[in-house]
Structure 1
Amino acid sequence: MAKTARIALYSLVFASLCAPAGAKDKDKDLSTAPPPVYQGVLDCRTMADPAARLACFDKSVAAMADATIKKDLVVIDRATIRETKRGLFGISLPKIKIFGGNDDVEVNQIESTLTSAYSSRDGMAVFVLADGSRWKQTEGRDTFPKAGQKIVVKRGTLGGFMANVNGQPGVRVIRLAD
């Protein structure tokens, strides 16, 4: 490959790698702005004429209902966000604003009941929680867990997790794929 062709190719690759960084900043701004179908409802409030305002509301609410039926618009409340994040606790996900930038709802621990426990091939305990999630002990002392016992899984330091079974001292755990 000629030297100029290589330089052109490297320049193109470099430019394409830089482009997503700019797009990422745009996405960050969009995550805080309401969707256009929702903004249409908000814009109706500024109309002075009551008949025009009502017509605007009727039109924009119909568009919002249609978008909701088509799943183009999803309405979610804080309690649902909290419950979803609780269900995803321990699963490694990419850092995206999946909940519209609602990062003030953070789950640092879950409390549950063991539905079962068993030993894995390497002899470490696997805890099955009431929500169906499975957590495997990676190090620590023997826990001898039993179905029906309380378990608390807490976010530990450096991205790890600690589990306390039935009030016993914690053991290091990882979440297993469901």
Structure 2
Amino acid sequence: MARLGCYDRAVEALNTAKAANELVVTDRATVREAKKGLFGLALPSLKLFGGGKDEEVTEIESKIAAIRMASDGFPTFTLDDGARWKQTDGRNTYPKPGQKIRIRKAALGSYIASINGQPGVRVVRQAN
């Protein structure tokens, strides 16, 4: 009987949180998309999206939507999802809108971008 009472209290607390819009339920696919959208941003370590290594996003693939050349001569890429990445070193990649881009985590918190299968160049995520 005590076990049933505990269950009833838990269900009531869940219903109360739901009614007050304090409860959010989502699926793994939605969490993965949210993590992909935050990929490359320096954020505090939060358990908001779970903490499992198996769910960690280590690379993304997208298309370049727009390009802007920075004053240092390196391009800033805007991806299809609106994320902006700036090339920080390496050779000229001659990027064009519509080209595929793959960005992956590299050593010491850095990121490497490969455009249209070319060898990678270092990039950094820009705040939007």
Q: 2:87 aligns with which of 137, 151, 157?
A: 137
**Partner AA of 2:24 in structure 1:** V
Q: 1:91 aligns with which of 41, 50, 56?
A: 41
Q: Which has the higher contact order (CA 8 A, sep 6+)?
A: 2
> Distance between the aligned counterparts of 1:122 and 1:104, measured in 2?
38
Q: What is the CA RMSD across the aligned residues, in angstroms? A: 2.3
* Segments of 4+ moved more than 6 angstroms: none
Q: 1:115 aligns with which of 65, 70, 74?
A: 65
TM-score of the pair, normalised by structure 1: 0.64
TM-score of the pair, normalised by structure 2: 0.87
More helix by share: 1
**Structure 1 unaligned spans of 5+:** 1-43
**Partner AA of 1:155 in structure 2:** K
Query: Is 1:175 equivalent to 2:119 in the alignment?
Result: no
More strand by share: 2
Residues 72 and 176 (structure 1), Cα distance of their counterparts in 2 relative to 1, 3 Å cut: same
> Larger C-alpha radius of gyration, 1 or 2?
1
Tell me how far 1:61 sits from its aligned partner.
4.4
Query: Is 1:75 equivalent to 2:25 in the alignment?
Result: yes
Tell me how far 1:104 sits from its aligned partner.
2.8
- Give the secondary-structure state (helix, strand or coil) at the position aligned to 2:55: coil
Q: 1:148 aligns with which of 85, 98, 115?
A: 98
Residues 156 and 64 (structure 1), Cα distance of their counterparts in 2 relative to 1, 3 Å cut: same
**Structure 2 unaligned spans of 5+:** none
**Identity level (%):** 50
> Distance between the aligned counterparts of 1:174 and 1:98, measured in 2?
23
